[in-house]
Structure 1
Amino acid sequence: MIIAILILYVLMMIGIGVSTHSKSSSIDGFILGGRNVGSWLTAFAFGTSYFSAVVFVGYAGQFGWNYGMSASWIGIGNAVIGSALAWMVLGRRTRTMTKHLEASTMPEFFEKRFRSKGIKTAAAVIIFIFLIPYTASVYNGLSRLFSMAFNIDYSVCIIAMALLTAVYVILGGYAATAINDFVQGIIMLGGIIAVILFALNEKGGFSSVLTQLGEIEAGVPKNTLNSCFGPDPINLFGVVILTSLGTWGLPQMVHKFYAIRSEDAIKKGTVISTVFAVVVAGGSYFLGGLGRVYCTADSTDGSGRTFIEKLANGKLDFDAIVPSLLQSCLPDIMIGLVVVLVLSASMSTLSSLVLTSSSTVTIDLIRPLTNGKMNEKKEVLTMRVFIAVFLLISVIIALNKNAYISTLMSISWGALAGAFLAPFMYGLYSKKVTRAAVIASFVSGVGITVVHMFIFSLGFFPEATKAAASLKLNMASPINAGAIAMIAGLIIVPIVSSFTKNSDQAELDKAFECYSK
């Protein structure tokens, strides 16, 4: 039954890709859908690109385990900050200025807004490099569930998903992803509600679950996993910032505003996207908060809960928590629904990531090298080739099972949003933002992420890790590093802009005249 559901779903995705193939023959059609995408499709595309197996399996499992019910605040932050405020602050101005400047990608926006080809090239390189670990994290989460549902080897799952994504995106471009995202979003909304009801019912209802969580004392004080702000509110806040504010600077997210049809569509999309995030993100983290009720890290505690093993590096396998929880409480038909749910969420995110990366490389790196000699058909073909290249590199990284989903995503979001969020947002609103400030933000966002990765994630300086642990500082968390990178950019850009100047005021006035029309 599960396999039949899955086959029907895959055939539907490929069918949509084939049916929209004719709309993806031009650059504008392939990456922007002709800038004519409505509110419902754009809102669902935003939401389904935002939430994938990374959230449902990786983040929900790890932070539900660490913070219990308070992990639900992450989903609320995603809805309010990551969706509602992102649409209200960025939506209209992004659509208006990118259309006025004829910018199709974020690097192209930076080039035309700040009149610098060097900034465009730097942005394109950053996007290509740091979207790869995010894509790998999506494969990782997706493969965990497929291994659980079908008992298929982890590496086989990853390779199969890569091939399916390649076919799906290469055929239809943005038009195919937008239509598929809408269908996938409906599946996600219904699926997450059904799974939560099953999980609560299996353990006696909501009040019973709260009681059971309060009694758990393994590594946390009693009655904290069922409390409002959990056992570690400071680090919980860091997760909220990374996963919520991060969407403001991620190229695959703000790209949705480039393609939306009108300002009225933005108003409707704001409401739709926010409701979607409340249900999907809030539901995912709430489900993750049930992790310790179903699972244990102690094989001798006699509770009957599923034992979660440790990885080869000695750390708890957080990414196995949600799959184990689902296997414990769901019947086979619901397992099939969950697999399709997570496949839906992940395929939409993957399609958005590979489309963003391939368009960036083609338009912002390869096109300038050819001095305009490539025609539109060749550029679209080049994008399709780079989709395959990007997927191949991501698969190689994802095959490393010792890399946590949350770590991979945090590195990606920290570098990208740390570099781009501040100059992009300020650049939409203020003429005072300078090229020097943009460069400073790029250096800060990437620098903080990379330095932290070498010191902590890769373990090149074990003394620093020991020192941080002895001081009881969670400096080793890539999530906190990502949040710091974003906040640093928001501070650095106005400071640097205040003592540097823009030389071409006339060009700036032209860029901003679009808002007065």
Structure 2
Amino acid sequence: MDVILLSIIIILYFILLAYVGYIAWKRTKSSEDFMLADRKTHPYIMALSYGATFISTAAIVGFGGIAGQFGMGILWLVVLNIFVGIFIAFVFLGKRTRKIGHNLDSLTFPEFLGRRFKSKFIQTFSGLIIFVGMPIYAAVVLIGAGRFMETALTLDFNLCLLILSILVCTYVIFGGIKGVMYTDALQGTIILISLIVLLIITYWTLGGVESANLALTNLVSHYPAEAIALGGTGWTSFPSFGSPIWWNLVTTVIIGVGIGALAQPQLAVRFMTVESNKEINRGVLMGGIFIAGTVGSAYIVGALSNLYFFRFFNDISINIVGGNIDKIIPSFINAALPEWFVYVFLLAILSAALSTLSSQYLAQGTSLGRDIYETIKNKKNQNSITLTRIGIIIAVILAFALSLILPGSIIAQGTSLFFGVCASAFLPIFIGALYWKRLNRQGAIAGLVSGTVASLFWLLFIFKKTAIGLGICKFLLGQDILINAMPWPVVDGIIFAVPISLIVMVVVTLLTKPMEKNHIDLCFNGV
């Protein structure tokens, strides 16, 4: 290890972060500054912040590990991320979110929903979902960065988690969303360049694009027997239709994350930080390039790691890392890439972790301070910064504690589950809030609650990985899961919970009175 080179790179990185965070702190004067950057964010910063928040170590390390174990079928998630997570999100949801949020003077995603439907319950309940559910997502992001630091720097894993937690907590507490978005733009640039360079070096090392892909296809005879038994067909082909791997890949990973991104509170709030729709339009191209260059590269490299390890170590990736897929990307980087690039890529992993963690901690902090405490105490319009900072500290502690106890190979699964819960709870009422003027308070509450309950029920009693892991079904009913017949134990709850939420929301709305016309006119003024 070149300690001097590593020290120089990390010191320069921290100096840049500190400088950007300082600028954000100096420009943060009010609650609106702290939570929405005074609604005047540059489109490049907004798009890079959105992308860097969206693409975390969970995407690079966790889903890259899935590609290393099962293959390139996960690239369909990239397609869905670009089309749904960027194009649909920006063009069809972002513009209306920005305008309606401005009309209602909303500072957070739960407050946006609460004011749209004139419901303190919706704001508080949404804040609780974020504050209670997001620590699991934050913990797996933290684990992803910690695993790479552990592998690249031979540091104690728990020490890595502590360093990361303290670092991100510091600039989020002082800089608010400006601190988050300014550092996101810096970190997003580092991530994009590093992942593209990684893809180029990987293909160059393995003999070129065509040669490497063909060789990986021909390596199918060494595809894991346990993966074949579950429906896997190779690293360059899609799993067998209807197999357990197919259901997991399609429903949990591709649909759960691809569609779930539309209802991520920490992403939706980005649209309310810009001044006009022009900035959102300008952000679409940058966002699409970012997604394609980052996760697209990570997933391809994850699959190709099998070819590298087989050529140089005579074994495939999952065996090299002892079965923990969260170690595939870190181990490949450490073994296959030049030492200087390992250090540079460490910055990319740190950037991916810090950018996502900072947004998660801020979302949890604002949920606790503004959406839960202030709503319950009926103290709106007071200065929310202090309460939010307390919430951020609590969020950091919760994520750190969970990262110490969660099992291996959890990164991708934890991310998918949180995205699925958010989609089930928020997606129907969020889209309804933007496009259906008839949607009223009663319908929105019914959709929010039914989607949340349906999603949690599926996770606790039907979905095998979470039901067995948590053990609640076993404790209450004496059996691991309620339904053993395939494919239900491997089908993600989003497939059922989102339609349930939508149907309940529509039925209750049509059976109850519309909201006041003057309120609806206020919401949709200029939309």
Same fold (TM over 0.5): yes
CA change 1:155–1:264 in 2 (3 A) is: same
In the alignment, is the contact (CA less than 8 A) between 2:438 and 2:514 conserved in 1? yes
Cα offset, 1:31, TM superposition: 0.9
Partner of 1:326: 333
In the alignment, is the contact (CA less than 8 A) between 1:16 and 1:180 conserved in 2? yes
Q: Structure 1: give runs of 5+ residues left out of the alignment.
A: 311-315
Q: How far apart in 1 are the matches of 2:284 and 2:87?
A: 6
Count of matched residue pairs: 500
- Residue from 65, 90, 93 that aligns with 2:93: 90
**Corresponding letter in the other structure for 1:400:** I
Q: How far apart in 2 are the matches of 1:493 and 1:5?
A: 52
Q: How far apart in 2 are the matches of 1:208 and 1:178?
A: 40
CA change 1:197–1:234 in 2 (3 A) is: same
Equivalent runs, 1:232-251 vs 2, <5 Å? 232-238=245-251, 239-251=253-265
Q: How far apart in 2 are the matches of 1:30 and 1:495?
A: 39
Q: How far apart in 2 are the matches of 1:380 and 1:274?
A: 33
Cα offset, 1:75, TM superposition: 1.2
Q: Does 1:287 align with 2:287?
A: no
Cα offset, 1:426, TM superposition: 1.3
Cα offset, 1:302, TM superposition: 4.8
CA change 1:306–1:425 in 2 (3 A) is: closer
Partner of 1:49: 53
Q: How far apart in 1 are the matches of 2:154 and 2:247?
A: 38
Larger CA deviation: 389-398 vs 15-24: 15-24
In the alignment, is the contact (CA less than 8 A) between 1:82 and 1:243 conserved in 2? no
**Corresponding letter in the other structure for 2:387:** T
**Corresponding letter in the other structure for 1:421:** L
Q: How far apart in 2 are the matches of 1:357 and 1:466?
A: 31
**Corresponding letter in the other structure for 1:58:** G
**Corresponding letter in the other structure for 1:272:** M
Q: How far apart in 1 are the matches of 2:314 and 2:291?
A: 38
In the alignment, is the contact (CA less than 8 A) between 2:424 and 2:501 conserved in 1? yes
Cα offset, 1:104, TM superposition: 0.8
Partner of 2:63: 59
Q: How far apart in 2 are the matches of 1:429 and 1:124?
A: 22
**Corresponding letter in the other structure for 1:324:** S
Partner of 1:364: 371
In the alignment, is the contact (CA less than 8 A) between 1:468 and 1:474 conserved in 2? yes
In the alignment, is the contact (CA less than 8 A) between 2:68 and 2:317 conserved in 1? no
Q: How far apart in 2 are the matches of 1:116 and 1:467?
A: 35
Q: Secondary structure at the match of 1:181?
A: helix
Report sequence identity in percent: 27
Cα offset, 1:417, TM superposition: 2.2
Partner of 2:420: 414
Cα offset, 1:305, TM superposition: 6.1
Q: Does 1:31 align with 2:35?
A: yes
Equivalent runs, 1:232-311 vs 2, <5 Å? 232-238=245-251, 239-294=253-308, 302-303=314-315, 307-309=319-321
In the alignment, is the contact (CA less than 8 A) between 2:451 and 2:497 conserved in 1? yes
Partner of 2:524: 512
Q: How far apart in 2 are the matches of 1:91 and 1:82?
A: 11
Q: How far apart in 2 are the matches of 1:137 and 1:150?
A: 20
Q: How far apart in 2 are the matches of 1:488 and 1:267?
A: 33
Question: What is the CA RMSD across the aligned residues, in angstroms?
Answer: 2.5
In the alignment, is the contact (CA less than 8 A) between 1:441 and 1:489 conserved in 2? yes
- Residue from 184, 198, 203 that aligns with 1:195: 198
- Residue from 380, 387, 399 that aligns with 2:385: 380
- Residue from 135, 139, 146 that aligns with 1:136: 139
Cα offset, 1:418, TM superposition: 1.3
Cα offset, 1:338, TM superposition: 1.1
Q: How far apart in 1 are the matches of 2:140 and 2:32?
A: 29
CA change 1:236–1:181 in 2 (3 A) is: same
Partner of 1:344: 351
Partner of 1:397: 402
CA change 1:454–1:234 in 2 (3 A) is: closer
Q: How far apart in 2 are the matches of 1:168 and 1:372?
A: 27
Partner of 1:313: none
Q: Does 1:205 align with 2:214?
A: no
Q: Secondary structure at the match of 2:41?
A: coil
In the alignment, is the contact (CA less than 8 A) between 1:48 and 1:349 conserved in 2? yes
In the alignment, is the contact (CA less than 8 A) between 2:69 and 2:317 conserved in 1? no
Q: How far apart in 2 are the matches of 1:276 and 1:487?
A: 31
Per-residue CA deviation, residues 195-222 of structure 1 (Å, 9 max, x unaligned), is 1122222222333333343332323559
**Corresponding letter in the other structure for 2:65:** G
Q: Structure 2: give runs of 5+ residues left out of the alignment.
A: none
Q: How far apart in 1 are the matches of 2:147 and 2:250?
A: 27
Per-residue CA deviation, residues 10-31 of structure 1 (Å, 9 max, x unaligned), is 2211221122212223100011
TM-score calculated relative to the size of structure 1? 0.90
**Corresponding letter in the other structure for 2:363:** T
Per-residue CA deviation, residues 207-241 of structure 1 (Å, 9 max, x unaligned), is 33333433323235599325453445544332221
Per-residue CA deviation, residues 285-336 of structure 1 (Å, 9 max, x unaligned), is 222222433458xxxx9548673455xxxxx311111112212211111111
Partner of 2:501: 489
Q: How far apart in 2 are the matches of 1:327 and 1:61?
A: 15
**Corresponding letter in the other structure for 1:115:** K
**Corresponding letter in the other structure for 1:407:** Q
In the alignment, is the contact (CA less than 8 A) between 2:10 and 2:347 conserved in 1? yes
**Corresponding letter in the other structure for 2:386:** L
CA change 1:459–1:204 in 2 (3 A) is: farther
Q: Does 1:444 align with 2:450?
A: yes
Q: How far apart in 2 are the matches of 1:496 and 1:375?
A: 34
**Corresponding letter in the other structure for 1:236:** L
Cα offset, 1:484, TM superposition: 4.1
Q: How far apart in 2 are the matches of 1:4 and 1:491?
A: 57
Q: How far apart in 1 are the matches of 2:191 and 2:305?
A: 20
- Residue from 491, 508, 512 that aligns with 1:500: 512
In the alignment, is the contact (CA less than 8 A) between 1:78 and 1:281 conserved in 2? no
In the alignment, is the contact (CA less than 8 A) between 1:61 and 1:288 conserved in 2? yes
Q: How far apart in 2 are the matches of 1:483 and 1:2?
A: 46
Q: Does 1:18 align with 2:22?
A: yes
Q: Secondary structure at the match of 2:424?
A: helix
Q: How far apart in 2 are the matches of 1:209 and 1:482?
A: 36
Per-residue CA deviation, residues 92-138 of structure 1 (Å, 9 max, x unaligned), is 10100000011111121122111111111111111111111111111
Per-residue CA deviation, residues 154-194 of structure 1 (Å, 9 max, x unaligned), is 11111110100111111211112222111111111110011
Q: Does 1:430 align with 2:436?
A: yes
Q: How far apart in 1 are the matches of 2:437 and 2:64?
A: 40
Cα offset, 1:369, TM superposition: 4.4
Per-residue CA deviation, residues 416-466 of structure 1 (Å, 9 max, x unaligned), is 221111101111111121223322322233223322333331134468657
CA change 1:8–1:488 in 2 (3 A) is: farther
Q: Secondary structure at the match of 1:432?
A: coil
